[in-house]
Structure formats: C-alpha cells, structure tokens
Structure 1
Amino acid sequence: MTEPLRLSKRMAELGLCSRREADDWISKGWVRVDGAVVDVLGSKVLPQQKITVDRRASAEQAQRVTVLLNKPVGYVSGQAEDGYPPAVTLVGADSRWPRDPSPLRFHPSQLRSLVPAGRLDIDSVGLLVLTQDGRIARHLIGEDSTVDKEYLVRVQYARPGRLPERDLKLLNHGLSLDGKPLRPAVVRWQNDDQLSFVLREGRKRQIRRMCEAVGLKVLGLKRVRIGGVRLGSLPPGQWRYLGPDERF
C-alpha cells in the first residue's frame, strides 16, 4: 500500500512550487486535493490524488523574478559573514546591465525573498542566480538536481613538470571529499594554465579541494554557465533578468 506524503512535499515533487511556497498557499486556502480545499499545514495525501492550486497562487508566482548576476570577488552568496557583504546588495536600479533586453522594470519589492540558488565563494567570480521562484531554486540546488555548471579555473602546478594525465583522469572521476565519492565530472585543459570544469554537484569549495588533491593551486575561478544559461558578456558587478525564453 502506498504511504501518504506531506502535501507540501508532494507539491514540490510535482514542480508546482517550493515546500515553503506550498505551506504559504495551504495556509491561505489556495490548495485543493481532489477538489476539496486543504488549509491545514502538515496535511498528507496519496500520490494518486489530484492537487490543484488557485489562480491567485499562479498569478503571485508569475510576478516572481530571477536575476543573473556576475558576482565579483569580495561578496558572499548568501547572508553577510566576516564583514563581507551579500551578493544581493549588488542588485539595484543603478547596477542593472544597460543591455538587458528584458522589459521588466526594477522595483525594490523584487529584493524580498530574492535568494541565491547555489553559491560562489568570496574569492570566486561569475554567474550567480538569485531568485524569488522556489521552483527554480529546487531545480538548481535540490538533491535530485541534474543541472550542470561550467567553470573556468586558472591553476598552477605545485610540483615539477606538468600535471600527469592520470591526475587529470582523477579530476574527471575517482576523487572523494569528506569520505564521499564525487560524481563524474568533465575536466579538460583550455590552455596551458586554465582548466574547464563541468560539474553536476556543488560541495563546499569543491573545485579548489579537487585541485589541491592533485597538486594544483587555484589562482582564479569563474562560473560561466549553469545549464543552458550562460554568463556571456554581462560585466562584473552588474545583473540582468532571466529571459522568458531562457532555460536552465
């Protein structure tokens, strides 16, 4: 017999919204299960039951924005820490990329609940996604996410000679961090001192630790792509809206 699931979890599994959004909609009476309103948090459903949401929920969701930022060095992805400002402080009318093709107008209300979908270290730069849409956040950083991310990494070999081919193969598959094996990656040389990394996971300081494991020192790290969305010519410290035709 199939076990019942929390309604909010089931809604997230179906891609309707995030679990936090689901709880909000449930409490507002915007969720129906088999046609009946369910407004009690923690309610459970069976997988075969039909879940629908009020059009007010869909309208609210449509107003949520997703921002692409070229994060410079010196900013943290999330909450401020150790005196470093959060990346969201770079999002404002004055720092919007003048070539942003989106017809959307910036309003300070768009900063509410604008959270990073993934992280970049203080000393890393490049594409950072900030979103109000829980579906996008879950798609990019959920446990079952399969979205790949591409980085350009400038390195210096700490030993005589050049990185052996066997160690390049280890970077592609065979390394572990904190006792857990890493998923296969695609790592290849771009030029004499720069590697391209394509990953489908994002453990803390993962690329730097992978490089350290084979004797490479990271001199610079830049994220240039997340799924089908590229950093392109977006300047450092500027941002633009995710376009309606762009897909991660």
Structure 2
Amino acid sequence: MSDPIRLSKRLIELVGCSRREAELFIEGGWVSVDGEIVDEPQFKVSTQKVELDPEAKAIPPEPITLLLNQPAELNSESALPTITAATLSEEHRYGKRPLKGHFLRLSCAAELQQGASGLQVFSQDWRIIRKLTDDIAKLEQEYVVEVSGDMVEHGLNRLNHGVKWKGRELPAVKASWQNETRLRFALKNPPPGLLAQLCASVGLTVVSMRRIRVGGVSIGKVASGQWRYLSSKEKF
C-alpha cells in the first residue's frame, strides 16, 4: 500500500504536466478520482484511479454567479451557507457541474429588502458586482406582492400615475393584478418600505412580497431555498 499523496502530484506523475497545470486541471473540475470529480489539488489519494478528462483545459475557472430563491426568513448572510451542491435546483442539474470552488468568495449584489423572498444574487464576478452596484438605480426590478384588503376605486390607475401617501409623493410604478390577491410591481431600485406604502395608499396591506426579476434576469422555475447558475446568455 503506497502512502497517500496530493492529487496534484499524482496527476503530474500520470500526465507529465507542470504543478500549475495540474492545479488548474483539478480546480476546473477536469479530474476524477474513482469516477467522482474532485476539485481540490491537496486531496490525498493512494491506490484510487485518477483520470484526466480528454477535453481538459489548463485555464483558471470562470467566476460564477448564482441566483438563489431566498426564503423570506433569511438574509444574505444567513442564506449563504445554504447554497451547496445539494440545493441546486432540480430543473437545473445539467450543463455546469457544481464545484467546491463555486461556493467560495461569493458576494451578494442587489440585496433583497428585509422581509422579502425571491431572487437574491451572489457572484464571484467583479463585473457583475460592479454592474449591480453602479447601475442598480437604472435597473427595473419586479415584485409579486400578496395583499389583503379592498383596493380603493381607480387604485390601479393611481399606482401607475403616482400617488400621495401621508403628504408625500410616491413614484409612479408599473402595477397590475396577477390574480385576486397578488399585485405585480415593476419599478427601479425601490427603497425599503416603498412597496408597503404604495399598497397602503390604495387601501391594501402587504402580506408578503417576492422579487422575481432584476433587470433582464428572472429567478425562473427555482423552488424556494434552491438556486441556479446565471447563464452566459443572461444579462442584468
């Protein structure tokens, strides 16, 4: 029985690559140990079968962006530990393989309002983070708001053209009924409390609110508490 050695060292022995190339192959998810992808160069192996994917490329992994359907009881800090390979959306378990490196160095961008559920964005990509930091005031966000009460006459028209609430002018928004108890709001960078104020101005009380879109990116068919990868075709 041979003594365990680092996976990167075993790969160097097998394919004759450099140490840096070995680390890049492993961190990129191109190396399997007994058929299972391992993306940690320091992983110890002994007699296991180590294989390098024929399509392997020794390049740094692309930074990723994750879209979480965050439950209302969590915030970005408490939600981050729940993002694992096991909570990847069932409908999105194809294409990109979850790697341990995908769950490191994630930053939250376009923070959800307190008490809201829905689309929360976590990213390793400085370009995405800068976009959602610098341009957040320009990006339309869409919320589905569960309400109770009876809307005042012409309330929907008032929401779409601007209303007053306690002597304060509230901005005009795009508002429509999704069903008998849910309103859809589309608006730019809503400050905390604005959705509740808009609803109150037309006689309604907010029961819950869920963000479903930021800019051109929607959460899609992702169950609460699960996440998916942002695809290369999606743009905020």
Q: Does TM-score exceed 0.5, indicating one fold? A: yes
Give the Cα separation in 2 of the matches to 1:188 and 1:177: 19
Structure 2 CA distance, aligned partners of 1:175 and 1:189? 18
Q: Deviations over 1:103-131 (max 9, x none)?
A: 33323333333122212245322111111
Q: Which residue of 2 aligns with 1:235?
A: 223
Q: Which moved more, 1:120-129 or 1:230-239?
A: 120-129
Distance change (3 Å), C-alpha of 1:134 and 1:98: same
Q: CA deviation at 1:185?
A: 1.6
Structure 1 position 196 matched with structure 2 position 187: no
Runs (4 or more) in structure 1 with deviation over 4 Å come to 175-183
1:192-231 superposed matches below 5 A = 192-231=180-219
Q: CA RMSD in A?
A: 2.8
Unaligned runs of 5+ in 2: 1-58
- Normalized against structure 1, the TM-score is what? 0.61
- Aligned position for 1:38: none
Matches within 5 A, 1:19-98: 63-77=62-76, 79=77, 86-98=78-90
- Is contact 1:139–1:145 with CA below 8 Å preserved after alignment? no
Q: Give 1:232's aligned amino acid.
A: G
Instruction: Please tell me whether the aligned partners of residues 156 and 218 of structure 1 are also in contact (alpha carbons under 8 angstroms).
Output: yes
Alpha-carbon displacement from aligned partner over 1:186-225 (angstroms, at most 9, x marks no partner): 0112222211100111311321232233331111211222
Change in CA separation of 1:132 and 1:195 when aligned onto 2, cut-off 3 Å: same
2:67 and 2:134 map into 1 onto residues whose CA distance is 19
**150, 153, 165: which one aligns with 1:164:** 153
Task: State yes or no: 1:124 paired with 2:116.
Answer: yes
The match for 1:148 is 140
**Any idea what the Cα deviations from partners look like across 1:82-122, whole Å, max 9, x if unmatched?**
xxxx2212211111113326533323333333122212245
SS of residue in 1 equivalent to 2:91: coil
Equivalent in 128, 131, 150 of residue 136 of structure 1: 128
Matched, 1:108 2:97: no
Rounded to whole Å, the distance in 2 between the matches of 1:90 and 1:177 is: 39
Q: In 2, distance between residues paired with 1:176 and 1:116?
A: 33
TM score, norm. by length of structure 2? 0.64
Identical residues among aligned pairs (%): 32
Say which SS state the counterpart of residue 191 (structure 1) adopts: coil
Q: Which amino acid aligns with 1:130?
A: F
Specify the code of the residue in structure 1 equivalent to 2:152.
L
Kept in 2, the 8 Å contact 1:149–1:225? The answer is yes
Aligned to 1:247: 235
Larger radius of gyration: 2
Q: CA deviation at 1:168?
A: 2.8
**Aligned residues between the structures:** 178
Provide the residue aligned with 1:40 in structure 2: none
Taking structure 1 as reference, are residues 145 and 125 closer, same or farther at Cα in structure 2, changes over 3 Å only?
Answer: same
Structure 1: unaligned runs, 5 residues or longer: 1-58, 80-85
